[in-house]
Amino acid sequence: MVKRMLRAVFGNFRLKFWALVIALGIWFYAASRMTEEVTVRMALDVKPPSGYVLIHQDPKAARVSVAGPRSLLARVRSDLTQGFVRLSYAMAAQDLFGGQATLDITPDWLRPSLPEGDFVQLRFRNITPSEVKVAASAVRERVLPVKVRAIIETAPGYRLVEPPSSSPAQVTVRGPAAALDAMDSVPTAELALYDLQADVHRPVGLQGEREVTLATGQTVSVPLELRPQGVIANVYVSGEEDRQETFDNVRVQLLVPPDFPYQAELAEGDRTVSVRVAASPGQLRRLRRESVQAYVALAGLAGERIELGGSAPYKEPVLVLVPPEVTCTMARAEPARVTLVLKNPAR
């Protein structure tokens, strides 16, 4: 009986061997025809250690080759591209060196949201890139003063009583120590106020980001948690009382129109005047002596009748001109009129 069993097992061995080879070939061929491989982009989710916050990560995603039965891939392909499988790693404090770390990405990072029966039939390989660089910083909390950033121009005759302030004057800031350690205040968004004539109390947001320079020299922007997230900016203004300033020895100029028929000359002693200007202190500070002008306009005298070889004196008003950017309430010459002589010389 034993011989009969051995003969049944080992009899025709060559024929059975080739049958096995053919069967394996058919199986491998069928398997290759029924499987497929796709490349998908997966998010890299690196979690910092407890008490730390991630301030930089590069890259934020990796490309992974996924192989499996063709029918299964056709069914879950959209799930793969939509993040149902991601790469995630929870860091430990010992992973960091000087706030920096370079982590090798391995298949152990795979975190599926697919049914277990589907996930075990898939093979994940060729993760590109193979590592991720991260920077983390301990979380701190500080109370810092608010710095109101404002461009303010008061109306003529008004001035700022004090620098802009905020209510509240301080806020609580929570974020990476790498950012908070370099901060001495929390700036507001820029406030622009023009032609201001009254006090202003306006809500304004706070800058919720701060730039941090990494050990590599790269600069990144990190978010901050602010409590509250906005303040009231207070701007106080007051009207200024006019002051007067006198500019002596301002030369009087003659404004002669084209084709004026006579020669004009100022009388001795009337060639200079004093000019008195009244304006707010701020406006007076903008006024320079060389920009103050005094002149006599001769256009109204063109129709006068003067005999040939004769002359005639005229008492004319002195006009004062100040730069247009200076607003004044009074600008007049002393004396207000000067004597000039018109001549009609004989030819």
Burial class (CB in 10 A: 0-12, 13-18, 19+), 278: middle
DSSP string for residues in 97-157: BTTEEEEE--GGGEEE-S-HHHHTT-EEEEEESSEEEEEEEEEEEEEEEEE--EEEEEPTT
Strand partners for 264: 342
Of the candidates 144, 152, 340, which has an alpha carbon nearest to the alpha carbon of residue 252? 340
Question: At 20, is the pLDDT very low, low, confident or very high (cuts 50, 70, 90)?
Answer: low
Predicted pLDDT at 317: 96
Tell me what the mean pLDDT of segment 10-35 comes to: 56
| Angle, vertex CA 120, rays to CA 123 and CA 105, nearest 5 | 50
Which of 69-78, 80-89, 98-107 is modeled with the greatest confidence? 98-107
Predicted pLDDT at 55: 94
Whether 31 has a pLDDT exceeding 50, the answer reads no
Question: At 29, is the pLDDT very low, low, confident or very high (cuts 50, 70, 90)?
Answer: very low
Predicted pLDDT at 32: 46
Whether 226 has a pLDDT exceeding 50, the answer reads yes
Predicted pLDDT at 251: 96
Whether 103 has a pLDDT exceeding 60, the answer reads yes
Determine contact, residues 86/111, Cβ cutoff 8 Å.
yes
Tell me what the mean pLDDT of segment 8-32 comes to: 55
Distance from C-alpha of 210 to C-alpha of 194, rounded to nearest angstrom: 29
Question: At 331, is the pLDDT very low, low, confident or very high (cuts 50, 70, 90)?
Answer: very high
Determine contact, residues 264/256, Cβ cutoff 8 Å.
yes
Predicted pLDDT at 4: 59
Whether 84 has a pLDDT exceeding 50, the answer reads yes
Predicted pLDDT at 169: 96
Q: Say how many C-beta atoms besides its own lie within 10 A of residue 330's C-beta.
A: 11
Q: CATH topology for 139-239?
A: RNA Polymerase Alpha Subunit; Chain A, domain 2 (2.170.120)
Predicted pLDDT at 235: 95
Question: At 327, is the pLDDT very low, low, confident or very high (cuts 50, 70, 90)?
Answer: confident
| Global pTM exceeds 0.85 | no
Of the candidates 247, 257, 329, which has an alpha carbon nearest to the alpha carbon of residue 291? 247
Distance from C-alpha of 273 to C-alpha of 269, rounded to nearest angstrom: 9
Written out in words, the top-level CATH class of the domain with range 243-344 is: mainly beta
Name which of 50-54, 56-60, 74-78, 211-215 the model is least confident about. 74-78
Predicted pLDDT at 175: 96
